[in-house]
Amino acid sequence: MYRLSNVKIKEDLTEEQIIESALKKYKIKKEEVKSSSIYKKSIDARDKSNIYYNYAIDVELKKDRVVKGASVVEEYSLENINVKRKSKYCPVIVGAGPAGLFTALILVDNGVCPIIVERGSKVEKRVEDVDNFVKNGVLNTKSNIQFGEGGAGTFSDGKLTTGNNLTHSRKVLEEFVKFGAPKEIMYVAKPHIGTDNLVNIVKNMREYIISKGGRFIFDTQVIDFKYNNSKIEKVILDNNEEIETDTVVLAIGHSARDTFKKLLSSGVTMVPKNFAVGVRIEHLQSDINLAQYGDKSKLHLPPAEYKLVYHAKNGRVCYTFCMCPGGQVMASSSDENTVVTNGMSKFKRDGENANSALLVNITPQDCGNTGALCGMYYQEKLEKKAFEMGGSNYYAPVQKVGDYINNVKSESIGKVKPTYMPGVTLANINELFPMYVNETLKEAITELNKKLKGFGDSEAIMTAVETRTSSPVQITRDNDTLEANIEGMYPCGEGAGYAGGIMTAAVDGIRVAIKILEK
C-alpha cells in the first residue's frame, strides 16, 4: 500500500477522477491498482487567487514495486487487548455521552456487558425536550442540551478533531461510520458529523450495545456511591435502585454539578482546573467565506471555517472555539434561572450565519482558589447574571460588537440577525463580565480583525454567556491505572477533566475500557 501525497486538484472532480489524477502524477497505470481510496482531503486557501484541494490517496498495487515519491502505508489497528477481567459484576457507566458510549462499545465487543445510567432521556425524546426549550422556553433540567443520550456534543457541530493517538482516533472515526456517519469523515482534514446525523448515530450505537448484552437506564440519576475500604461497592440511583459493582466509569460530562458535589463530599479527590468564559459571536457566513476564500475561485467550496487565537497584553489568552459554519446559537441551560449558550450546525452547514465561541481563559486564582469547585461556582454566577440581563425568561442578552467596544447598550440589530432562541434582549454585555474579561475580549476583537477581515465587524452579534466549553474541575486519577483514589472508579472524558470534545472524550473512553478489561 502506497500513499500518494500532495495531489493538487483545482477543479470540482469526482472521486474517480481525483484518483486518476493521482495515478497520473505518480506514473501508475490503472491496471496495476488492486484498490484505492482517499486518505486525506484539505483546502489550501493561502493564495486566494489559486485555491485548491490537496489530496492524499492510498493505493494498493497488485504487484510489489517501487513508486517514486510515494510513501509506504503502515497498517494500523487497535492494540490487542489482553482481557483479564473475571468479575461477576457489570461495570456501571455513569453518563451516555461519547466517553460513556465508547467505553461501552469496547467493553461489549470484548464480552463484558456494562450498565449505562443516564440522567437524561433517549436521544429521540431528548430532541423533543430541546425543541420545547428552544421554542417555548420550557426547560427540562434532566434532559436538555447538556444532559441526555449522546452528551452535549450531540447538539453541536459534531466536530471530530483528531488527537495525537492515531490508532484510537481512527477507531473512533471507523465506529462513527459503522453507525451511520458520512464516509468522508475518514479523510477530510476537519471532519464533522452535524447534529442531524448524530441523533441517528447515537441511537444506532445504543441498539448495538443492547444487542451485545449492555443495559441502559435512562431518566435516572446516580445520586450516591458506596465504598468499602476505598473500593467502589455500589451506586445508588434516584429510583431507589442499588447496583452492586466493582467498577464505575465517571463519564458524567462537564455540567453534572450535583454529581461533582456528591463525589467531593464522599471523599473523591478532585482539583480545580483552568477553563474559559465568553460569548458566541455571529457573522454572516457569506462574509466569512469572502474573508477566507476571496471571490476568485471557481471551486464549489464548503462554508468557510476559522480558528483564531490572540495573546493579550494582560497575559491572558483569547481564542475562538467550536466554530459552527452555517449554524445557530443554541439555548444550552441545564439549571433553572440560568442562560448558557453553545453553537450547533447541521451537516450541510447551510444557515445564514457563522458562529463560534469567543473565550477568555480563567484560572482557579480568578475564582478565589476557594476549593475544587470554585470554577463551577464562577460559571454559575455568570449564568445567573446573564439570565437576569436577558429578562429572566431564558432570553439571552445580545449586543453588537461596535456597541460592546464602545461600552454602550445596543438599541437595534444590524445586518447580522441573532439566531438564539427562544429570544434575545438588547443589552450591554460589559456589565456581565469582570473588567479583565472585557479588556481581553475588546483587545482580541481588534487584533483578530487583522487576521480575519470582518471579524470585528461593528454589526456582528455577541450573545452571552458561553461558560461550558470545558469542565472547571479535574477528578484526579492515577496515570497508569486511570483510577481515582477510590479503587474501581474511573474518571473519564470531558467532565472528569481529561478531554475537550467529542473525539478526545471518545478516545478517553476507549483507554478506560482497555484498562478495565486488562485489570
Q: What is the DSSP letter of 159?
A: B
| Within-domain flag for 129 | yes
Q: Which of 448, 466, 484 is the last residue in one of the domains? A: 466
Helix (H, G, I), strand (E, B) or coil at 33: strand
Write the CA distances from 110 to 43, 84, 104, 360, 464, integer angstroms: 39, 11, 10, 42, 45
- CATH code at 251? 3.50.50.60
Residues 497, 443 within the same domain: no
Write down the pLDDT at residue 157.
Answer: 76
Residues 259, 116 within the same domain: yes
Write the CA distances from 52 to 48, 395, 423, 452, integer angstroms: 9, 42, 40, 20
Q: Which of 40, 72, 104 is the last residue in one of the domains? A: 72
| Within-domain flag for 81 | no
Of 257, 247, 269, which is closest to residue 484 (Cα–Cα)? Answer: 269
What's the rounded Cα separation, in Å, for the pair 452 and 456? Answer: 9
What's the rounded Cα separation, in Å, for the pair 451 and 440? Answer: 16
Residue 480 in grid coordinates: 497508569
Largest CA distance in the chain: 71
Residues 52, 102 within the same domain: no
Write down the pLDDT at residue 159.
Answer: 81
Q: Which of 445, 466, 487 is the last residue in one of the domains? A: 466
What's the rounded Cα separation, in Å, for the pair 492 and 489? Answer: 9
- Contact at 8 Å (CB) between 133 and 331? yes
Residues 222, 267 within the same domain: yes
Task: Walk across the sheet containing 2-9 and list its strands.
Answer: 33-44, 52-61, 2-9, 71-72
Residue 481 in grid coordinates: 491505572
What's the rounded Cα separation, in Å, for the pair 99 and 504? Answer: 8
- Contact at 8 Å (CB) between 116 and 169? no
Q: Which residues of 241-259 are buried (b: 16+ CB within 10 A; e: fewer)?
A: eebebbbbbbbbbbbbbeb
Residues 313, 227 within the same domain: no
Of 91, 122, 138, 124, which is closest to residue 219 (Cα–Cα)? Answer: 122
pTM: 0.94
Tell me the H-state helices in 79-216: 98-109, 123-136, 166-178, 195-211
Residues 378, 488 within the same domain: no
Residues 126, 27 within the same domain: no
- Contact at 8 Å (CB) between 224 and 236? yes
Q: What is the pLDDT of residues 452-481, one digit of tens each?
A: 999 999 999 999 999 999 999 999 999 999
Beta pairing partners, 35: 60
Residue 24's contacts (CB-CB under 8 Å, 6 or more residues apart) are none
Write down the pLDDT at residue 162.
Answer: 64
Write down the pLDDT at residue 165.
Answer: 60
Upper half-sphere CA count for residue 367 (Cβ side, 13 Å): 27
Of 89, 212, 187, 201, which is closest to residue 151 (Cα–Cα)? Answer: 201
Of 416, 438, 301, 435, which is closest to residue 352 (Cα–Cα)? Answer: 416
Of 133, 111, 107, 109, which is closest to residue 120 (Cα–Cα)? Answer: 133
| Within-domain flag for 332 | yes
| 45 burial type by CB count under 10 A (0-12 exposed, 13-18 middle, 19+ buried) | middle
The distance of Cα 51 from the centroid of its chain, to the nearest Å, equals 29
Collect the ranges in the chain with pLDDT lower than 50. none
- CATH code at 23? 3.30.70.2700
What's the rounded Cα separation, in Å, for the pair 172 and 504? Answer: 9
Q: What is the DSSP letter of 188?
A: B
Amino acid at 188: V
Q: Which helix (H) or strand (E) holds 258?
A: helix 257-265
Helix (H, G, I), strand (E, B) or coil at 511: helix
Residues 36, 114 within the same domain: no
What's the rounded Cα separation, in Å, for the pair 167 and 174? Answer: 11
Compute the Cα dihedral for 280, 281, 287, 293 and give only its sign: negative
Domain of residue 448 covers 274-466
| Within-domain flag for 107 | yes
Residue given cell 447551510 in the structure block: 350
Helix (H, G, I), strand (E, B) or coil at 345: coil
**Extended strands (E) in 305-423:** 309-311, 317-324, 328-331, 341-344, 353-362, 396-400
Residues 484, 433 within the same domain: no
Of 253, 309, 334, 325, which is closest to residue 444 (Cα–Cα)? Answer: 309
> Based on the structure, what is the number of domains in the chain?
3
Residues 152, 262 within the same domain: yes
| Within-domain flag for 79 | no
Residue given cell 445508588 in the structure block: 236
Q: Which helix (H) or strand (E) holds 375?
A: helix 374-390
| Within-domain flag for 11 | yes
Residue given cell 472547571 in the structure block: 472
| Within-domain flag for 87 | no
| Within-domain flag for 415 | yes
Residues 405, 321 within the same domain: yes
Residues 458, 371 within the same domain: yes
